[in-house]
Amino acid sequence: MPTAAKTIEADIRKLREEVLRHEELYYVHDRPEISDVEYDALVERLRALEEEHPEFRTPDSPTLRVGGRPAEGFAEYVHRRPVLSLDNSYNIEDLRAFDERCRRLADGRSFEYVAELKIDGLSLSVHYENGVFARGVTRGDGRVGEDVTQNVRTIRSVPLRLKGAAEGEAEVEVRGEAYLPRKAFERINAEREEADEAKFANPRNAAAGTIRQLDPKVVARRRLDLFAYDVLRGERKPFATHWEALEWLDSAGFTVNPRRAKCSDIEEVIEFCNEMEAKRDGLEYEIDGVVVKVNSTALQDEFGATAKSPRWAIAYKYPARQATTQVESIVVQVGRTGALTPVANLTPVQLAGTVVSRATLHNVDEIRRLRIKIGDWVNIEKSGEIIPKVLSVVKSRRTGEEKTYHFPKRCPECKGLISRPEGEVVSRCVAADCPAQLKARLLHFASRRAMRVEGLGDALAEQFVQKKMVRDVADLYALKLEELAGLERMAEKSASNLLAQIEASKGRDLPQLVYGLGIRHVGERTAALLARHFRSLERLAAATVEEMDDIHEIGLTVAESVRDWFDDEGNVNLCGRLREFGVRTELASGASGATDEAFAGKQFVLTGRLEALTRDEARAAIEARGGRVTSTVSKKTDYVVAGEEAGSKLDKARALGLKIIDEEGLRALLG
Ligand code: IVH
């Protein structure tokens, strides 16, 4: 064999083994080391190479079969009809290409799509004999699964007897996705942490780990749930459309995800995908995309399937939120209250649409828990707006070259002493003159949600501190044009712009000022509550712990922290100087007490689509008046604001007899 061919054969073999290894980690051990996207890319590379060189494809190639293999411990069960998986698409063009293929196959006949959420769990097949629950089977490799009947029986959303017309059916197979709601996942991990057991990386791993628990009692406690998405009678699909199948499942007693849509063309599908992506973070469970299916079962049969997946369905995957990368170094950041936060510098990796090169390690305890070393491969996660965090270390990828990390004994910036009070997780630099703390305080004071001094960024704050031009936030108001113009990369024009910005910040309202002071435990919301209650900085400064503690939603910790801050002579001085410089220290008159009454301490839930306001705007408006926006409807909810196509939250609000208002009502309330 010529050398070139030999190398290709070796490449294919290596790649094949790599894919098999990751499959085993994923399917058998529930311990994936790489993200789904990375895995798909590996398989794609293998498939492409094999297609170019079919002579090197072996019968055990993972491209020829559906998935992994069952582990020991449960009886095997051969699926009557293989459990296929879906082709993935990662962008809108892929979806359009899928649509074109379907339209070609339909050859002029019109048809509909059904779009459903792709729940991030594991697929289960649930069998009924004469209407009675008979068996629960995992997907396994798609042909042979594991009999996990005892465990499936513990899932409350799996009816033990089919309801209504379904009762008399001889043999019914229902397929669906078992998953752990976020709440259950968090509870399980909290318990595991307490018991010093390794935490699950995500709800999917936790669900997969749970279904393969040998003790059904443990399973029962974990509260798995199931969304049903398909039904077979014997080997056949018993309905003319998928939509009808979903409705039948609902009537038979299963939970069918209410967030689904019948779409007359691919544009409607795309709309659904975008809408759900925006809602993703607010759902009670994790999703990784949308599944799009041709509605007509006759067309489904006609389109058929490849060895791996049906031609009538596709998964549209949202950008992954987890990835694997390497720790290049660990640094410690000093916050405005002196809090020391370890941060991992990472080899940059693409994640959820951005490049991630840093992730928080939270605190010393977390470093110990992870046992993280410099050079380690780590799984990281990014969700919503939150800073990416390190989930776990991939110990199997250690080479021995990794370096142990030691948390510093002194502040890395000013070499000041570090203290960690009993019972607290955070270590702090306690030096009063730590330049890193001052810099962080300046940046916080100038930030958008505080006094909003545009143009005051990291580089400038650094220079102010280094050159001792600023010793506290009040000094900003004493800065002169000549001083500023002398700084690096500061032309006269930008210097005067900055001065104008600083001047403008004097007129910000009291909530922004109180927040900007950077008092420990006083976030944006607490600052607004305090400002609205006391209406001036002077009155807040004079407030007793009891007075503050009496405010609804303000607790003792916050009250004591605020009192401590105003008891500090330096801070008293600072407040006096801010006032002298002309910074507003009274609440602006526009916010009348009357409007606040309707909102203060009230809980709002926003659901459905709003027309005139975005969700964020509505939330901000409610919070600015002292209200609170939460994502779950409960007895404690005061108002449910229902927009267009409000779903299960509205149903729940009705069931609980809560006050429901529409967007119009909200606007009236907001005045
Ligand atoms: S339909 C042939 N619908 O995604 C049709 N799957 O690779 C196959 N999944 O194995 C499945 N939510 O575990 C379908 N609404 C949904 C789903 C869903 C999650 C999972 C399922 C499947 C994988 C696709």
Identify whether 78 is part of a domain: no
Distance 478 CA to ligand 1 centre (A): 63
User: What domain range includes position 217?
Assistant: 88-317
Residue of minimum CA distance from atom 17 in ligand 1: 118
- pLDDT tens digit string along 472-491? 999 999 999 999 988 888 88
Q: Please indicate, yes or no, whether residues 343 and 379 belong to a single structural domain of this protein.
A: yes
Residue 222: pLDDT band with limits 50, 70, 90: confident
The tokens of 345 are what? 């510098």
The angle that helices 3-23 and 36-52 make with each other, rounded to 10 degrees, is 150
Paired strand residues for 342: 332
Identify whether 256 is part of a domain: yes
Which of 118, 122, 260 for a ligand 1 pocket mutation test, highest count of atoms within 8 Å of Cβ? 118
Q: Please indicate, yes or no, whether residues 313 and 197 belong to a single structural domain of this protein.
A: yes
386-399 average pLDDT score: 87
- Residue 604: which of 624, 623, 625, 629 has the closest Cα? 629
pLDDT at 240: 95
Task: Say which residue, 184 or 382, is predicted with more confidence.
Answer: 184
Residue 649: pLDDT band with limits 50, 70, 90: confident
Q: How far is residue 105's CA from residue 99's CA, in Å, rounded to a whole number?
A: 10
Distance 200 CA to ligand 1 centre (A): 22
Distance 292 CA to ligand 1 centre (A): 10
Q: Please indicate, yes or no, whether residues 153 and 237 belong to a single structural domain of this protein.
A: yes
293-312 average pLDDT score: 94
Q: Please indicate, yes or no, whether residues 309 and 338 belong to a single structural domain of this protein.
A: no
Q: Is 389 a catalytic residue?
A: no
419-424 average pLDDT score: 85
Q: Please indicate, yes or no, whether residues 164 and 240 belong to a single structural domain of this protein.
A: yes
Which of 36, 37, 43, 86 for a ligand 1 pocket mutation test, highest count of atoms within 8 Å of Cβ? 86
Provide the H-helix boundaries in 107-148: none
Ligand 1, CB cutoff 6 Å, lining residues: 84-86, 116, 118-119, 123, 177, 229, 291, 310, 313, 315
Residue 1: pLDDT band with limits 50, 70, 90: low
Task: Say which residue, 25 or 337, is predicted with more confidence.
Answer: 337
For 518, list phi and psi in degrees, rounded to 5: 75, 35
For 479, list phi and psi in degrees, rounded to 5: -65, 140
Identify whether 466 is part of a domain: yes
Task: Say which residue, 218 or 197, is predicted with more confidence.
Answer: 218
Q: How far is residue 205's CA from residue 224's CA, in Å, rounded to a whole number?
A: 12
Question: At 653, which CATH number?
Answer: 3.40.50.10190
Choosing from 118, 199, 293, 317, which is the catalytic residue? 118
Average pLDDT along the chain = 88
Which of 37, 98, 229 for a ligand 1 pocket mutation test, highest count of atoms within 8 Å of Cβ? 229
pTM for the full predicted model: 0.53
Q: Please indicate, yes or no, whether residues 365 and 290 belong to a single structural domain of this protein.
A: no
Q: Please indicate, yes or no, whether residues 145 and 246 belong to a single structural domain of this protein.
A: yes
- pLDDT tens digit string along 585-643? 999 855 444 446 778 778 899 988 888 877 777 887 887 777 888 878 888 899 999 98
Distance 160 CA to ligand 1 centre (A): 23
Q: Please tell me the total count of domains within the chain.
A: 6
Residue of minimum CA distance from atom 23 in ligand 1: 85
Q: Please indicate, yes or no, whether residues 480 and 523 belong to a single structural domain of this protein.
A: no
Task: Say which residue, 647 or 109, is predicted with more confidence.
Answer: 109
Q: What is the DSSP string of 599-647?
A: HTT-EEEEESB-SSS-HHHHHHHHHHTT-EEESS--TT--EEEE-BT--
Sign of the Cα pseudo-torsion (281, 285, 290, 292, in order)? negative
pLDDT at 197: 66
The tokens of 157 are what? 């959303």
Task: Say which residue, 217 or 70, is predicted with more confidence.
Answer: 217
Question: At 53, which CATH number?
Answer: 1.10.287.610
Q: Please indicate, yes or no, whether residues 105 and 228 belong to a single structural domain of this protein.
A: yes
Residue of minimum CA distance from atom 9 in ligand 1: 118
Q: Please indicate, yes or no, whether residues 402 and 335 belong to a single structural domain of this protein.
A: yes
Identify whether 427 is part of a domain: no
Identify whether 61 is part of a domain: yes
Question: At 534, which CATH number?
Answer: 1.10.150.20
Identify whether 415 is part of a domain: yes
- pLDDT tens digit string along 109-127? 999 999 999 999 999 999 9
> Quick one: which atom of ligand 1 is closest to the CA of 85?
7
pLDDT at 66: 34
Q: Please indicate, yes or no, whether residues 162 and 98 belong to a single structural domain of this protein.
A: yes
Distance 264 CA to ligand 1 centre (A): 21
pLDDT at 3 over 80: no
- Pick from 367, 386, 419: which residue ends a domain? 419
426-438 average pLDDT score: 93
Identify whether 289 is part of a domain: yes
- Pick from 473, 505, 537: which residue ends a domain? 505
Residue of minimum CA distance from atom 11 in ligand 1: 85
